[in-house]
Amino acid sequence: MQCEMCGETIRGIPKLIRVEGAELQVCSRCGKFGTEVQQPRRTDVQRPAARPAQGARAQAATATAQRKRDMFDYMEGDIVEDYAERVKNARMEKGLSQKDLALQLMVRELLIKKIEKSELIPEEEVRRKLEKALGIKLVDVLTGDAERKTQAKITQTLGDLTVIRKAKK
């Protein structure tokens, strides 16, 4: 094992230290540069028996299953640019005040105010509640035809216009 600070091979037991918030496994010489972190001793926990791998497909499946999902994995499309206007207009058409809408959606009134001022993009759950309560769409989902149209509108760059000529030797 190598020291994560100096790169030399660690002889003996590595020390776990914290340097500016990062925990590093270091040699005894580099241990003085940080604060030593006590490792919890887990004597009561036994490791499960290792299963033989069934191939690359099984390894890939476990890797994707262990990856945490983030906000962008749950999104269905892109939120429209004029979402604030749509929310405000739909709320006014229904004859609701910001406070009434907030009570109906069970969110804070300040959240509705910030969404209508374009200061805050609504999260997925709030966006769905707004769409359902006001009968509007706030997400622009590209279909296959629309995607092809956007890909077909490729603008030329300077590299497309220039012709490079090789110099004669």
Give the pLDDT confidence of 8-46 residue by residue, as tens digits.
Answer: 888 888 888 888 888 888 888 888 888 888 765 555 555
Map out the domains of the chain with their CATH numbers: 1-38 (no CATH), 78-140 (1.10.260.40)
- For 91, the token pair is 């709320």
pTM above 0.85, yes or no: no
Least confident of 91-95, 145-149, 153-157, 160-164: 145-149
User: DSSP string of 85-117?
Assistant: HHHHHHHHHHT--HHHHHHHHTS-HHHHHHHHT
**Reported confidence tier of residue 110, pLDDT bands at 50, 70, 90:** very high
Percent of the chain with pLDDT over 70: 64
- For 31, the token pair is 């241990």
Does residue 30 contact residue 6 with C-beta atoms inside 8 Å? yes
Is pLDDT of 111 > 90?
Answer: yes
What's the confidence (pLDDT) of residue 134?
94
- For 120, the token pair is 């805050």
Q: Determine the length of the chain.
A: 169
Tell me which residue of 118, 108, 124 sits closest to 87, measured CA to CA: 118
